[in-house]
């Protein structure tokens, strides 16, 4: 079982326009609704490849109720913690002709309240005890987490530190949660290069990715790293192993949204269920990320002609 934890859910609408131009009134030719957030995307992809998974998230207000209905209707495995603040909203505008790049508008972040944070921490404590008794459970901390550094979030931070200490916490996050994670023995941090470079002082940032990764391994107790950079080379390093580098498959990009989440999901599946090495897991994951970028949805592309079909239920 892989639990994904999303602290900043998104109630997201997509408008498709036939002739999208900024600065003028637009009439959409199509409209859709979807639930966004890294953990939701990761769970969607994990479920598609046959992994046991549940997306844990916080919802509130009418926008949160719409998210809960969407997750239920699409049978996305999930566990909800009620939040007093309404779930944030977002809008994606897409040109059906492909002449204008897809544009995403994100509403303001909504911090999770103390009651919801305590409930989540208590539930994770119970899951952690099950894991210590031998249940094959892992936790993936996904995306941003408003209010992470507050006193209200202390119980959750302390519980996640226990998961990290037992080597069963993986991370794909940024901002304060990422800064926190750097001081923990995180099993895997998957991060894009821009966020990775920002971890270093200004006078270090011109160094190569490999040089920065070498420094990161010396500086922080993180056990494994994967650093993505869109269509450019991916760098990775497992504990006590040499730094590796691989080029993702080349595709015609339609929408890169969620491709990193797809990669993270496939990394988790390959590492923890298939028991692959990090190098093998990266090689397994990248074609899926590329296939997602060549498709308009998130984790909705056809799985035909992708590697390692034995990963999927028959």
- Nearest-CA neighbor of 3 among 74, 65, 51? 51
Q: Which pair of tokens denotes residue 244?
A: 């590796």
Task: List the domain range (segments joined by +) for residue 31.
Answer: 2-311
Q: Which pair of tokens denotes residue 82?
A: 């009620």
**Residue 313, pLDDT score:** 45
Q: Which pair of tokens denotes residue 309?
A: 């079909």
Q: Do residues 27 and 105 lie in contact, with contact meaning Cβ atoms separated by under 8 Å? A: no
**Residue 310, pLDDT score:** 44
**Residue 312, pLDDT score:** 52
**Residue 116, pLDDT score:** 98
Q: Is the dihedral of CA 81, 82, 84, 90 positive or negative?
A: positive
- Nearest-CA neighbor of 6 among 138, 142, 110? 142
How many domains does the chain contain in total?
A: 1
pTM: 0.92
| Residue ranges, the chain, pLDDT below 50 | 309-311, 313-314
**Residue 305, pLDDT score:** 60
What region, left, alpha or beta, does residue 220 occupy, with left being phi > 0 and alpha being psi -120 to 50 degrees? beta
pLDDT 10s digits, 190-233: 999 999 999 999 999 999 999 999 999 999 999 999 999 999 99
Kindly compute the dihedral angle of the four CA atoms of residues 111, 267, 254, 230, in this order, to the nearest 10 degrees: 80
**Residue 314, pLDDT score:** 37
CATH of the domain at 113: 3.40.1190.20
Pairing status of strand 53-59 against strand 88-95: unpaired
């Amino acid at each position: 079982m892989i639990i994904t934890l999303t602290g900043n859910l998104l109630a997201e609408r997509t408008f498709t326009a036939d002739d999208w131009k900024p600065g003028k009134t637009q009439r959409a030719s199509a409209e859709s609704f979807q639930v966004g957030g890294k953990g939701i995307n990761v769970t969607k992809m994990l479920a598609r490849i046959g992994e046991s998974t549940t997306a844990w998230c916080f919802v509130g207000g009418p926008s949160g109720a719409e998210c809960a209905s969407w997750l239920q209707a699409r049978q996305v495995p999930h566990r909800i913690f009620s939040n007093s603040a309404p779930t944030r909203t977002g809008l994606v505008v897409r040109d059906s002709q492909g002449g204008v790049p897809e544009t995403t508008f994100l509403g303001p972040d909504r911090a999770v309240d103390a009651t919801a944070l305590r409930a989540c921490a208590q539930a994770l404590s119970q899951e952690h005890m099950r894991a210590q008794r031998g249940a094959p459970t892992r936790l993936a901390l996904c995306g941003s987490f408003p209010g992470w550094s507050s006193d209200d979030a202390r119980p959750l931070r302390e519980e996640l530190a226990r998961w990290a200490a037992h080597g069963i916490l993986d991370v794909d996050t940024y901002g304060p949660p990422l800064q926190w994670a750097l001081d923990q023995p995180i099993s895997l941090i998957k991060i894009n290069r821009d966020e990775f470079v920002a971890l270093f002082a200004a006078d270090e940032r011109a160094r190569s990715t490999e040089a920065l990764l070498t420094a990161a391994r010396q500086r922080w107790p993180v056990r494994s790293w994967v650093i993505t950079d869109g269509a450019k080379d991916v760098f990775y390093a497992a504990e006590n192993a040499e730094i590796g580098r691989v080029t993702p498959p080349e595709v015609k990009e339609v929408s890169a949204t969620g491709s990193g989440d797809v990669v993270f999901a496939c990394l988790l599946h390959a590492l923890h269920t298939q028991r692959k090495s990090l190098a093998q897991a990266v090689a397994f994951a990248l074609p899926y990320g590329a296939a997602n970028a060549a498709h308009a949805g998130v984790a909705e592309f056809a799985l035909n002609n992708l590697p390692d079909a034995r990963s999927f239920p028959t």
